[in-house]
Structure 1
Amino acid sequence: MRAVAPWVRTRLRTAPGAAVALLLLTLVTSFLAAVLPRAMDGYAAAALRHALATAPPERSAVELTDTPWQDDTGTGGDPVAPAVLAERYERIVAALPAPLRADRAESAYGVRTGSPLAADDPWIPELDGGRTVFTLSAQHGVDRHAVLRAGRLPKVADGPVTSDTRAVEAAVTTATARTLAIRPGAVVHLPVPGSGGPLAVRVTGIVEPVRPDGSYWAFEPVLRTPTRLLKPGPVPQPYWHGALLLPPGAAPVLRSTGPDSEAYWRIAADPAGLGARDAEALRNAVASVEDGPVRARLGEVFSPDLFVESGLDDVLLGVERTLAALDPVVAVAAFGVAGVAGVVLLMAGGLVAARRRDELALLRARGGSVAGVAGRLLGETAVPVLPAAAAGCALAFAAVPEGRALPSLLAAVAVAVAACGALPLRAAFAHRRVGMHGERADAGRARPSRGRTVAELTVLALAVVAVAALRRDGGASPEGGAAGDGAGGAAAGAGGAAAGSGDLLASAAPLLVALIAALLLVRLYPLPLRFAARAAARRRGPVVFLALARAGRAGGAATLPLLALLVALTTAAFGGAVLTGIADARDRASLAAVGADARVEDDPLPAGAADAVRKVPGVTDVAAVNRSYDLDLRERDTGGIGSVTLLAVEPESYARLTARTGLGAFGADAVRAPAGTDASTVLPAVASPGVASLLGGDAVRIGPAEAPFTVRVGAVREVTPGAASGGEFLVVDAAGLPGGADGPPTTLLVSGSSVSGTALKAAASAAGAAQADVALRETVRAGFTDSPAQRGAERIYTAAVAAGAGYAVLALLLALLQAAPERTALLVRLRTMGLTRRQGRRLLVLESLPQALLAAGGGTLTGWVAIGLLGPGIDLAAPALAGRGEGAATGPVAPVADPWSLLLSALAVVVLAVAVAAATARPATRRTTTELRAGDTR
């Protein structure tokens, strides 16, 4: 007896196209689901490494210091001897707990003076503050971190150096030599405590740092470049502070320079190899070194006075806060595309179940159980789905090598379960009772059941809770979550779990809002259909009536495609609002930072600089400003508001600038000085809120003692061009200040959308301002996108919106395909009754319009409502400004409703629906009479 052919093999051979389509759909969905958590892990890890690599050296390193007065090791060695310092450096590096690793190329150790010493030599340049002071540093590795430019490297000669030695050699950097007029062979005499006389330091060489911005040189910037220090007093006066680089063997002489001389080990953190989940472990490692087990062990080796300090905690905390702000934004998009993808998988199963309705009904009528039928369907879907899900996951691992494996694997498994279970569950539900013919489902006459009402109310309650949670805390826990946890997750189904510390319900709020809108529209859908059908029934032509009747016959089948379109439109609208909010925040922040389209400043600018800049191509206007800081408010205490910036302006041009930029606009009369001003004239002024509260509304005498002036605040503005973001300021007419008419400006605020920075620099140089600084607004704006986390989150959000749109298009196609056989048979029958081809095409187009218009209008309204409800709970400062402080002047950064993203997406749905309907109408209206028996069971 011949064996019966296996079910799965027979079905796959019968319908290979459906199996291939399901395989491709599962492959793409599994890839997107698996790649999302890995992409989030990738940008989190990149953000961690970027933060450590770009942080100032004093914040990205661990510094250990000790007072090397005696041998605390019991070995008898000198604690500042090069061999002892090197041995202790190796102990420190070996004791660092993972994942904290030392960057040996940028780490440094040595001995330095605690307080700088003033030089006695008259040939050394001095500023108004008095004698130049020097820090002496015997730092190891200068020969490896610098290039010799003149002379030779210092060395220890004539026996070992002790605290009694009074002559040593040193080197200086090129910047120190240039600023302080030091040449090889020069001797710097530094007085030291005691009676041994001054310490003579002979400069033998000039070196050029190889990496001046690296931790080796930049941790203590004075080692590479002299700095200006200020002497305290009523009028602070500057004086020079430089550094002399001694050879390591000369370190013992530093004991004689004062009791605060110290040995130090500066361990630069190595960011290489750090992953998304290493942030918390790195913080624990830093805490252990600062004041934990590692510190205790090192204290036993060094001395109990060993002091450990690091700014790594602040750097890591900043990374975690940035990621905690980004994760809810990304999770919103992830849940949106997850919802659309889930709907499409259900629709794919539903399409197959509808096409095979008669076959499955016959199996049930012949005694097949629900479980047996579902099992066979599960077997035939598992054959293409499981390999496709595995391949999609493997492609995700290949596309994004970095990231945790478990979230991606779980996401791929979730896709496989959904794809495998869609057809069996849909078929089991439809054929839970034996029957050969389904009842007619007419949306125009349908009455929702009590179970459906309960389910809809449950979803409504969840949506309300989610919206409230998102508006309260933005979908994140109060602590912000760890960077590793926050980066690892994505939405369930389309990319794993959402941010570990984030609220899943809050992140799913837009999806739930779209679901509520879909359920509400499905309930309201019959009402316009009934009225439209009644009106069409009185018309002479049959096309409109038939189209409305066909649309009403869609019944519950319209729910899933409508839900997919609404979720996609809501996600696209929300995505457009997010991108618009980010762009607006960057525009405001860059404008507040520069003050105009460009800024040229020097102290002061030549008299002809403004005229030269006005002639630059692209410049439309120039506002000349004399900007000075630390305005003297006389008897008033400014401790609560800090320093005050005085802006002496030309009223007309500055007023035009405020109106054009929108930064605290006011008229020229608000600051114009009265004609014939003198020392007693009261000048009208515009002030910041803090300055206005200090000065009040009366005439107040302020300014320096040699040139005081009287002002009365007439207008208050939060911001103004040329003032620091969030700073306090006072704006007056330059012509009214004592000598203000003749005083040159320090800043030119330039307007013009196509201004060239090179041309501005050339114009300023030609006018005599060769050292003028030029800042462009577009350059500052571009600087807001330098964070890997920021760029990664934007890419993920954009990709999620695009994927959601693709799935929505697929949902629309599946909805049309599901009704294609019945539609074709109907058209052929109507053709036999006299319906023309043109009328047939109009019928299909009009039939698709109600659902398309419903989805377009509902999607637009839902997107607008979602932005209004959820926008206040989304903080876009991190993705917009890369965590910079310029956001203080921009105010809250929230999504901004973009009418174009709302209307264009809705219009695209209508156009696509009409185009697909028109495309399917042409071949359908040309079918022969062989289609007359399509679907006929008799």
Structure 2
Amino acid sequence: MTGPAATTAPRPADAAPAAGHGPAPWVRTRLRATPLAALLTAVLAFATVFLAVAFPRVLDRAADQGLRDFLRDRGPAASSLLATAELRGGAKSLDEDAAVLAAHTGPTLGLGPGGPVYGARSGKSRGLTNPGLARPEVVDPQLDLLYVQGLREHMTLVEGRWPDAPKAGAPVPIAIARSTATTVGIHLGDVLATAENLEGENPPRAEVVGILDAGDLDDPYWAELPCPVQACLNYTTGKQSYAYWRLTGLVDGAALDGVESWQTGARDFWRIPVDVDGLRADRLARTQRELAAYLTGHTANELATATHRPGLQITSPLPALLGQATARQEATAPLAAIGPAGLAGVGLVVLGLAAALAGDRRATELRLLQARGGSRSGVVRRLLAEGAVTVLAPAAVAGALALWLLPTPRWGGAVLAGTAVALFTLLALPLRAARLWSRPRPGSARRRTAGELAVLALTVAAVAEVRRRGVAPAGEGADPLLIAAPLLLALTGGLLLARLQPLLLGALARVATRRPGAIGFLGLARAARGSTDRSRPSVLPLLALLLAVTTAGFGSTVLGSVGTERTRAARLTVGGDASVVVPGGVTVSRTFAEAAGKLPGVRASAPIWADTDVFVLGDNGVTRVFAVVADPVAYAEISRSLGRGAFDAAALSGGTGGPDAPVPALVSTALARQLGPGATHRLRLPNGGELLTATAATVDGTPALQGDGRLFVVLPAGPAVALAPELGRPNLWLATGSVDRDRLRSLVREQIATDAERAAAAVTGGPDALPAGYTVRTSATVRAELADDPLQDTAARLFWTAVLGAGALALLAVLLTLVRAAPERTALLARLRTMGLRPREGLTLILIETLPQTLVAAVGGGLAAVAAVALLGPAFDLSILVGTEIEPGLPVAVAPVLLPTLGLAALVSAGVVAEALIAGRRQITTELRAGDQR
């Protein structure tokens, strides 16, 4: 005991007070005797309980926000329910049915802001035959008719009047957007004529009575409606595609008969937006059940009956999106939980260490109480009362603060975690004190060995089970075994290091005896003795640091692998680092290929002819293949850089011996297996011509084609084009290097796109937009798209926050141990100073004594992290985290483990050095006192 309570012998815990004297208040006396220790206990309880309550809340908030952001990014139509039925009745019937559909969405599927959007639209568009209309190519503009409720709240009348009911035999009055009128060349008062019907009836006509202007083109009101506010440039299907304008005429609710007669297949529609902000990640299963009932279950039947529309069809992308959200949530759950689990493990170790050090500091006091007749229950009650002030009060404040700062509908798990930590902090010291009243039992070494073997057996069983079955099946949430396995490996590593550390330090001490000076030997000998002294909780700080390093290294490896695989997947998706795809009938010109190849950052590039309408005529029949024609040198460099289908360009040399000489070909392994042993085959080209080829080599994949195991043929451009000139019209350009996407897009517009295409693109998408059918992609852009996942970002931030917290707690564990041993160490330094020890040598002695445990724990944690990756890596499938399908497994990498290991080791070592500097400056006169028993 120290302070005022140590100057007089304490009264037995349950002894009666003497007459005329009241007992000293235990709690107040103890808090006044050791105010710093009480303050540190309160701060530790506050911090650990706050973290215990905060992290579950953060996880819940991240899951909810990730789900909502995921749905918002897909647009308003993706988070809506779309009901359609045959056109029937008028606007009033649509209003009544919209109210019925919106009222049945249920408690989970709340109605989104803006309410339902509904109306009627023609089944198909009709070509406009007016001669003065814009036609990019030979196809007439196509007009749809649309009635949508609430149009006047979302558009402004610029010219003319609002459409109304049509007169008998007159054209249907319509209004069109001003942007559409400008693009297609339509004016107020024009009567739009259509082609004659096959039945010989008079074709329907439409009269433009109003020009409207939409204030917000991105208003969710317009989602999924067919070109309502601007003309759309579409392409016809088929081998030869043609561009044409598609536009929409807006009609009044009284003109639904005109919508029905415009073209067959007219439908009423209702889009019911779901309140995304009301969705919760923990209720996904319930939401999916309600959604299924609304789409095809009993709710759908009730709606069909209530609306008197037996043909009512309700569809939505939400089921698939919620399924994807569930898969993403389950994929990120281990990453999001590994960090907090490691933090929880380190926190429990630190709390246990604090209790052990407090018990060690108060051991003399408690033994004196025991010797003077104090009972176990009396002492435990008083320690609990003391802890009620130093633990329960700060814990309650911390829990309330975390609940207030991080609001979320779910609070049970957070409160349970905080309560568990508070009770552990409160009971640790009383339970340790209660052990003083128990008789020591022999065989503690055997019990320790048995406990360590049990931990080892549990670790082996967990690792074996994870490797056997993999990750928990989908729908079961986070896999607790996969999360606990790295921590069990760290715990096993810590126990093993606790056994090996004395041997290692002892060996180093023996080596130090052969060197001049006693500082090294003395420091290592004290470190070795301290690690074997069972009266000191020396294994706990070692275990805390090792848990922190293992968690950081393992999670960092997962994050690093996700980034690496994402980059690789992006390059494989693009076919390099940049690609340009042109629409059918357009050729990548030589001028463009040369200019693009000279762009800054381009290392290798090649224009490529690629087509799927190529057939191999073999003995086993006709096989359709994907054909690639490219310069072999440039294409080989792209393949080598990409890591897909690498080959020797020399294998495709030759082949210019005449029309009957075969062209050397690079054949996929799957195609070579299918064609059989023959080395020469004939290709039938899209124009009907044939080309004789000879298999020069086989590969599993090729850059121009996504995926492996496909059927393809790669031909050298020189001999192939000489025999079949149509193969010299490339429709694809690939490149490797750091290519600037904006400069490449500008070059495409300048060199390839025609004036008409550029003008059409400027109208529909802005001055820098590419014409329809042209695609420019870079691996950097695709990687950014794959990484654009708020749930993954939140999980990563949460993980690193937990790692920093674990590192801080590990530093605290080491400092608590050092501070507890500081008086003894300072007294030793004081005595050695009287024997001629210099201050610098004293600092060296402290560092030699304290740093080895830190460094050993850091190295051991790094090794445990590598072992965890090697043992548990095959159970990981990073496909959902990456954003695309990849091979399962987690590769072992040194760099992701090394960085957090060195960082945490440096942090703790800096704390050790700081404490040593403070301890080395203490005065000798404060330590060498008469009667000093240390």
CA contact (8 A) 2:56 2:414 kept: yes
Taking the TM superposition and a 5 Å limit, the aligned residue runs for 1:557-572 are 557-572=537-552
Residue in structure 2 matched with residue 80 of structure 1 by the alignment: 89
C-alpha deviations, 1:546-573, integer Å up to 9, x for none?
3333223323422111111111110111
Q: Which amino acid is the alignment partner of residue 731 of structure 1?
A: V
Q: 1:880 to 1:388 in 2, by over 3 A?
A: farther
Taking the TM superposition and a 5 Å limit, the aligned residue runs for 1:510-525 are 510-525=486-501
Residue in structure 1 matched with residue 879 of structure 2 by the alignment: 877
**1-side partners of 2:718 and 2:373: how far apart?**
101
> Is 1:294 aligned with 2:299?
yes
Secondary structure of the structure 2 residue equivalent to 1:453: helix
**2-side partners of 1:8 and 1:475: how far apart?**
51
Residue in structure 2 matched with residue 489 of structure 1 by the alignment: none
> Is 1:270 aligned with 2:275?
yes
Stretch of structure 1 that moved more, 643-652 or 90-99: 643-652
**2-side partners of 1:140 and 1:835: how far apart?**
92
Q: Which amino acid is the alignment partner of residue 169 of structure 1?
A: P
Secondary structure of the structure 2 residue equivalent to 1:560: helix
Taking the TM superposition and a 5 Å limit, the aligned residue runs for 1:419-568 are 419-430=425-436, 432-433=438-439, 449-472=445-468, 475-476=471-472, 478-481=473-476, 501-533=477-509, 541-554=517-530, 555-556=533-534, 557-568=537-548
C-alpha deviations, 1:86-139, integer Å up to 9, x for none?
121112112221221333637422223335556666777789997766543333
CA contact (8 A) 1:344 1:811 kept: yes
Secondary structure of the structure 2 residue equivalent to 1:272: helix
Q: 1:186 to 1:363 in 2, by over 3 A?
A: same
Residue in structure 2 matched with residue 487 of structure 1 by the alignment: none
Q: Which amino acid is the alignment partner of residue 328 of structure 2?
A: T
Residue in structure 2 matched with residue 204 of structure 1 by the alignment: 209
Q: 1:344 aligns with which of 350, 356, 364?
A: 350
Residue in structure 2 matched with residue 732 of structure 1 by the alignment: 715
Residue in structure 1 matched with residue 782 of structure 2 by the alignment: 780
**1-side partners of 2:541 and 2:785: how far apart?**
42
**2-side partners of 1:148 and 1:331: how far apart?**
56
C-alpha deviations, 1:200-233, integer Å up to 9, x for none?
222334555555566543424455654647567x
Taking the TM superposition and a 5 Å limit, the aligned residue runs for 1:658-807 are 658-672=639-653, 674-675=655-656, 678=659, 680-694=660-674, 697-724=679-706, 729-738=712-721, 743=728, 745-753=730-738, 755-765=739-749, 767=751, 771=770, 773-807=775-809
CA contact (8 A) 1:110 1:137 kept: yes
Stretch of structure 1 that moved more, 367-376 or 170-179: 170-179
Q: 1:813 aligns with which of 812, 815, 823?
A: 815
Stretch of structure 1 that moved more, 604-613 or 35-44: 604-613
**1-side partners of 2:620 and 2:112: how far apart?**
44
**2-side partners of 1:273 and 1:639: how far apart?**
58
**1-side partners of 2:727 and 2:626: how far apart?**
20
**2-side partners of 1:640 and 1:8: how far apart?**
93
**1-side partners of 2:857 and 2:609: how far apart?**
56
C-alpha deviations, 1:363-399, integer Å up to 9, x for none?
1211222333233222223312223223322332344
Residue in structure 2 matched with residue 490 of structure 1 by the alignment: none
Q: 1:910 to 1:228 in 2, by over 3 A?
A: closer
Structure 1: gaps of 5 or more residues: 69-78, 440-445, 482-500, 882-886
CA contact (8 A) 1:55 1:315 kept: no
Taking the TM superposition and a 5 Å limit, the aligned residue runs for 1:223-302 are 225-226=231-232, 228=234, 243-256=248-261, 260-302=265-307
**1-side partners of 2:372 and 2:102: how far apart?**
77
CA contact (8 A) 1:613 1:760 kept: yes
Q: Which amino acid is the alignment partner of residue 497 of structure 2?
A: L
CA contact (8 A) 1:39 1:403 kept: no
Q: Which amino acid is the alignment partner of residue 306 of structure 2?
A: V
Residue in structure 2 matched with residue 66 of structure 1 by the alignment: 85
Q: 1:601 to 1:420 in 2, by over 3 A?
A: same
Q: What is the TM-score of this pair, normalised by structure 1? A: 0.85
**2-side partners of 1:934 and 1:775: how far apart?**
82
Secondary structure of the structure 1 residue equivalent to 2:172: strand
Secondary structure of the structure 2 residue equivalent to 1:508: helix
Offset at 1:33?
1.8
How many aligned residue pairs are there?
882
Offset at 1:515?
0.7
Stretch of structure 1 that moved more, 684-693 or 700-709: 684-693
**1-side partners of 2:57 and 2:663: how far apart?**
62
CA contact (8 A) 1:346 1:422 kept: yes
Q: CA RMSD in A?
A: 3.7
Residue in structure 1 matched with residue 575 of structure 2 by the alignment: 595
Residue in structure 2 matched with residue 392 of structure 1 by the alignment: 398
CA contact (8 A) 2:792 2:881 kept: yes
**1-side partners of 2:115 and 2:218: how far apart?**
10
**2-side partners of 1:252 and 1:872: how far apart?**
63
Q: 2:74 aligns with which of 48, 55, 63?
A: 55
Residue in structure 1 matched with residue 636 of structure 2 by the alignment: 655
Secondary structure of the structure 2 residue equivalent to 1:553: helix
**2-side partners of 1:864 and 1:226: how far apart?**
55
Offset at 1:342?
0.9
Secondary structure of the structure 2 residue equivalent to 1:851: helix
**2-side partners of 1:126 and 1:598: how far apart?**
33
**2-side partners of 1:845 and 1:198: how far apart?**
96
C-alpha deviations, 1:813-850, integer Å up to 9, x for none?
12212211121222223334454444433332222244
Q: 1:923 to 1:338 in 2, by over 3 A?
A: closer
**1-side partners of 2:457 and 2:733: how far apart?**
57
**2-side partners of 1:767 and 1:259: how far apart?**
43
CA contact (8 A) 1:671 1:731 kept: no
Structure 2: gaps of 5 or more residues: 1-19, 759-769
Q: Which amino acid is the alignment partner of residue 691 of structure 2?
A: F
CA contact (8 A) 1:624 1:745 kept: no
**2-side partners of 1:125 and 1:273: how far apart?**
46
Stretch of structure 1 that moved more, 186-195 or 544-553: 186-195
Residue in structure 1 matched with residue 615 of structure 2 by the alignment: 633
Q: 1:713 to 1:93 in 2, by over 3 A?
A: farther
Residue in structure 1 matched with residue 5 of structure 2 by the alignment: none
**2-side partners of 1:911 and 1:180: how far apart?**
68
Q: Which amino acid is the alignment partner of residue 415 of structure 2?
A: L
Residue in structure 1 matched with residue 846 of structure 2 by the alignment: 844
CA contact (8 A) 1:474 1:875 kept: no
**2-side partners of 1:849 and 1:825: how far apart?**
20
CA contact (8 A) 2:226 2:248 kept: no
**2-side partners of 1:385 and 1:640: how far apart?**
80
**1-side partners of 2:613 and 2:789: how far apart?**
36
**2-side partners of 1:777 and 1:732: how far apart?**
25
Q: What is the aligned-residue identity percentage?
A: 35
CA contact (8 A) 1:353 1:427 kept: yes
Secondary structure of the structure 1 residue equivalent to 2:556: helix
**2-side partners of 1:892 and 1:151: how far apart?**
63
Stretch of structure 1 that moved more, 263-272 or 800-809: 263-272
Q: 1:629 to 1:374 in 2, by over 3 A?
A: farther
CA contact (8 A) 1:685 1:712 kept: yes
Q: What is the TM-score of this pair, normalised by structure 2? A: 0.85
Stretch of structure 1 that moved more, 56-65 or 146-155: 146-155
Q: 2:174 aligns with which of 170, 173, 178?
A: 170
**1-side partners of 2:869 and 2:832: how far apart?**
46
CA contact (8 A) 2:110 2:278 kept: no
Residue in structure 2 matched with residue 825 of structure 1 by the alignment: 827
CA contact (8 A) 1:650 1:735 kept: yes
**1-side partners of 2:71 and 2:786: how far apart?**
18
Offset at 1:182?
4.4
